[in-house]
């Protein structure tokens, strides 16, 4: 499998193009994950948001007049902005390579564990864990680094684990047009560990199947064995 780099690449909207990636310009011609749209917050708006955060933290009891806390509202906003960068898209995901091999539709590629951090859309608290992605190549192949990029594209936003896994599976299936796609996510949710039932040791596992994986129990079993052995090594 090739690494990301120069050479012939496939524009995933059709056709073979040489050289650099063509920028996506018409959102109506793309799916949500293909859109690249950098965010911009006006400095005046940022200052206003910082005031709101300061008022909230003050109401909750934080002393904002110490050397360690005077910049906390601004740092908090910067941290949240960085943690939601997935909304901007990732133009490096928009290329793939033609598959020139004739391997069996039952030979899978499994990559993991890909670490991720996400924000729960219900409480805006983090959940974090590992992802394992499997696919059976057909029309296209991609550099393995793109699998990490794909996971983090959907993790770095407000989301839930079920939607995140489903979105990764659908996007990978669209990008590669493979025989099949498998996604395994295992995560700890701070919204259940820090609040509510305060269950400190629970982990949530979700799986998603596309194509050949949906039809073939042996492939699913092989993928799950690989994923589970990886997540429980430590």
Q: How many domains does the chain fold into?
A: 2
pLDDT for 201: 83
- The pTM score is 0.82
Q: Phi and psi dihedrals of 201, rounded to 5?
A: -115, 5
Q: Is residue 201 part of a domain?
A: yes
Per residue of the chain (234 residues), give pLDDT as tens: 333 443 343 333 333 322 233 233 344 555 666 778 889 999 999 999 999 999 999 999 999 999 999 999 999 999 999 999 999 999 888 788 888 777 667 789 999 999 999 999 999 999 999 999 999 998 888 888 999 999 999 999 999 999 999 999 999 999 999 999 999 999 999 999 888 888 888 899 999 999 999 999 999 999 999 999 876 554
Supply the CATH number for residue 77's domain.
Answer: 1.10.286
62 and 170 both lie in a single domain: no
Supply the CATH number for residue 195's domain.
Answer: 3.30.1130.10
Three-state secondary structure call for residue 10: strand
Of the residues 30, 64, 85, the one at which a domain ends:
85
75 and 110 both lie in a single domain: no
Of the residues 55, 85, 115, the one at which a domain ends:
85
182 and 210 both lie in a single domain: yes
139 and 75 both lie in a single domain: no
Q: Phi and psi dihedrals of 185, rounded to 5?
A: -120, 135
pLDDT for 16: 31
pLDDT for 168: 97
Q: Is residue 116 part of a domain?
A: yes
pLDDT for 4: 40
104 and 179 both lie in a single domain: yes
Q: Is residue 78 part of a domain?
A: yes
Domain that holds residue 74: 43-85
109 and 223 both lie in a single domain: yes
pLDDT for 200: 82
pLDDT for 95: 80
pLDDT for 170: 96
Q: Is residue 49 part of a domain?
A: yes
121 and 174 both lie in a single domain: yes
Listing DSSP states for 129-155 in one string gives: EEEEEEEE-SSEE--THHHHHHHHHHH
Cis omega (within 30 of 0) for bond into 80: no
Contact 108, 219 (CB under 8 A): yes
Q: Is residue 27 part of a domain?
A: no
Positions of E strands within 80-203: 95-98, 109-120, 126-136, 140-141, 158-159, 180-189
63 and 147 both lie in a single domain: no
147 and 205 both lie in a single domain: yes
Contact 135, 108 (CB under 8 A): yes
Of the residues 56, 85, 114, the one at which a domain ends:
85
52 and 123 both lie in a single domain: no
Q: Is residue 189 part of a domain?
A: yes
pLDDT for 232: 57
pLDDT for 131: 98
Q: Is residue 17 part of a domain?
A: no
pLDDT for 103: 66
59 and 122 both lie in a single domain: no
81 and 102 both lie in a single domain: no
Q: Phi and psi dihedrals of 227, rounded to 5?
A: -65, -45
Which residues make beta-bridge pairs with 182? 134, 209
pLDDT for 21: 30
Q: Is residue 73 part of a domain?
A: yes
């Amino acid at each position: 499998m090739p690494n990301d780099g120069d050479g012939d690449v496939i524009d995933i909207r059709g056709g073979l193009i040489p050289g650099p990636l063509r920028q996506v310009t018409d959102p109506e011609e793309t799916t949500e994950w293909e859109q690249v749209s950098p965010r911009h917050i006006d400095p005046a708006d940022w200052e206003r948001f910082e005031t709101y955060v300061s008022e909230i933290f003050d109401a909750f009891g934080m002393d904002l007049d110490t050397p360690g806390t005077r910049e906390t509202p601004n740092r908090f906003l910067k941290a949240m902005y960085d943690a939601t960068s997935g909304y901007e898209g990732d133009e490096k995901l928009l290329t793939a390579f033609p598959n020139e091999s004739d391997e069996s539709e039952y030979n899978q590629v499994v990559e993991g564990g890909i670490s991720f951090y996400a924000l729960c859309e219900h409480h805006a608290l983090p959940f974090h864990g590992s992802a394992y992605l499997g696919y059976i190549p057909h029309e296209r192949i991609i550099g393995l680094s793109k699998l990490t990029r794909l996971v983090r594209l959907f993790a770095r936003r407000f989301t839930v684990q079920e939607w995140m896994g489903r979105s990764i599976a659908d996007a990978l299936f669209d990008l590669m047009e493979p025989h099949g796609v498998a996604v395994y996510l295992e995560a700890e949710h701070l919204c259940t560990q820090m609040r509510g039932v305060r269950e400190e040791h629970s982990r949530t596992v979700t799986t998603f199947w596309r194509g050949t994986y949906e039809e073939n129990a042996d492939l699913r079993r092989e993928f799950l064995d690989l994923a589970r052995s990886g997540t429980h090594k430590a």
